[in-house]
């Protein structure tokens, strides 16, 4: 109930112009009835202020929950995804254990998904969608399978891995190898299931191979690439680089022995 009161206060501030749109002193059940009529006719823009009013005027948790979910759904169906996301978030924060929670989480993820951009742009939408879909998969595997979320999770992880690789290459181009190393290591440690993982391993091993004293570590990553991606297009190149590195390491050990 404390969360409900807090939510109502927040909504009163956020939607202070609502009463002007629906008329003064309209009761929650009346604005709900009118909002549902418009909602069923797919007139979502006109239904939104009515659901906002029902939320502000709600005298019970049940009415508030219904109004909050319908408000989020109206934003979603009207393709106002940036507004749908926090609306679903507010519903899940308070009513996350209700039977409507899975649908709300799904639609919040789909709202993020609808805002996806290319890998050279901000990846906040991909991160938001992945977080929602992963949480839903872990919470209700059968529900996730019904909506084929596993495929979307793989797609989103691939996008985020591509982003890490893209940024790492950018840092290498502008001669900021330390920043590139951080991106490559993060990619290697977190996105083993992605297509970008293979190239990330190869680039990172090459970078290590060019640094004095890092030859043994480079060998480790080259071997990791061959072991985990035996059909990689880099296999022949890696075999050659391993031969060169092992010869270099052997020669260095011989020099130390002579001394």
Together in a domain, 21 and 127: no
Is there a domain that residue 172 lies in?
yes
**For the CA atoms of the chain, what is the radius of gyration?**
27
| 248-259 per-position pLDDT tens digit | 878 777 666 555
What would the two tokens of residue 78 be?
């009207």
User: Could you tell me the pLDDT band of residue 90, with boundaries at 50, 70 and 90?
Assistant: very high
Question: How far is 82 from 10, CA to CA, in rounded Å?
Answer: 17
Give the number of domains in the chain. 3
| 24-67 per-position pLDDT tens digit | 679 999 999 999 999 999 999 999 999 999 999 999 999 999 99
Q: What is the pLDDT of residue 258?
A: 52
CATH number at residue 42: 1.25.40.10
Together in a domain, 160 and 87: no
Is there a domain that residue 190 lies in?
no
Q: What is the pLDDT of residue 255?
A: 61
Q: What is the mean pLDDT of the chain?
A: 89
Q: What is the pLDDT of residue 18?
A: 47
Q: What is the pLDDT of residue 117?
A: 81
Together in a domain, 134 and 35: no
Burial pattern 52-78, b for ≥16 Cβ within 10 A else e, equals: bbbbbbbeeeebbbbbbbbbbbbbbeb
Between 24 and 217, residue with greater pLDDT: 217
Residues 6+ apart with CB under 8 A from 133: 109, 144, 149, 152, 153, 156
Cβ atoms of residues 188 and 204 within 8 Å: yes
Is there a domain that residue 8 lies in?
yes
Residue 247 has pLDDT above 80, yes or no: yes
Residues 6+ apart with CB under 8 A from 215: 208, 209, 245, 248, 249, 252
Q: What is the pLDDT of residue 122?
A: 78
Together in a domain, 93 and 32: yes
Together in a domain, 172 and 199: no
Domain boundary among 83, 115, 147: 115
Together in a domain, 108 and 131: no
Together in a domain, 7 and 54: yes
| Segments forming the whole domain that contains residue 140 | 119-176
Question: How far is 50 from 26, CA to CA, in rounded Å?
Answer: 9
Residues 6+ apart with CB under 8 A from 218: 205, 206, 208, 209, 211, 241, 245
Domain boundary among 115, 138, 156: 115
Q: What is the pLDDT of residue 17?
A: 43
- The pLDDT of 216-234, averaged and rounded, is 93
Together in a domain, 26 and 85: yes
Between 237 and 118, residue with greater pLDDT: 237
Is there a domain that residue 7 lies in?
yes
Is there a domain that residue 189 lies in?
no
Is there a domain that residue 187 lies in?
no
Q: What is the pLDDT of residue 89?
A: 97
Together in a domain, 61 and 7: yes
| 127-144 per-position pLDDT tens digit | 999 999 999 999 999 999
98 DSSP 8-state letter: S
- The pLDDT of 157-172, averaged and rounded, is 96
Residue 5 has pLDDT above 90, yes or no: no
| 91-132 per-position pLDDT tens digit | 999 999 999 999 999 999 999 999 998 767 779 999 999 999
Q: What is the pLDDT of residue 113?
A: 95
Together in a domain, 128 and 227: no
């Amino acid at each position: 109930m404390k969360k409900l009161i807090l939510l109502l206060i927040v909504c009163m501030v956020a939607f202070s112009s609502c009463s002007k749109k629906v008329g003064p002193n309209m009761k929650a059940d009346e604005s709900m009835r009118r909002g549902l009529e418009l909602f069923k006719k797919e007139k979502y823009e006109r239904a939104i202020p009515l659901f906002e009013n029902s939320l502000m005027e709600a005298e019970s948790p049940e009415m508030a929950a219904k109004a909050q979910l319908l408000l989020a759904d109206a934003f979603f169906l009207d393709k106002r995804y940036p507004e749908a996301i926090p609306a679903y978030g507010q519903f899940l924060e308070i009513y996350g254990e209700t039977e409507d929670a899975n649908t709300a989480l799904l639609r919040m993820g789909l709202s993020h998904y609808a805002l996806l951009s290319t890998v050279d742009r901000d990846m906040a939408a991909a991160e938001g969608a992945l977080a929602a879909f992963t949480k839903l998969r872990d919470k209700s595997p059968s529900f996730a399978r019904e909506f084929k979320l596993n495929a979307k999770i793989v797609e989103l992880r691939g996008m985020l891995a591509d982003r890490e690789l893209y940024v790492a290459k950018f840092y290498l181009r502008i001669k900021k190898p330390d920043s590139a190393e951080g991106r490559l290591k993060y990619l290697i440690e977190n996105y083993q299931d992605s297509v970008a993982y293979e190239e990330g391993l190869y680039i990172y091993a090459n970078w290590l191979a060019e640094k004095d004293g890092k030859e043994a570590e480079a060998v480790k990553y080259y071997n990791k690439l061959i072991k985990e991606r035996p059909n990689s297009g880099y296999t022949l190149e890696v075999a050659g680089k391993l031969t060169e590195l092992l010869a270099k390491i052997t020669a260095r050990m011989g020099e130390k022995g002579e001394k």
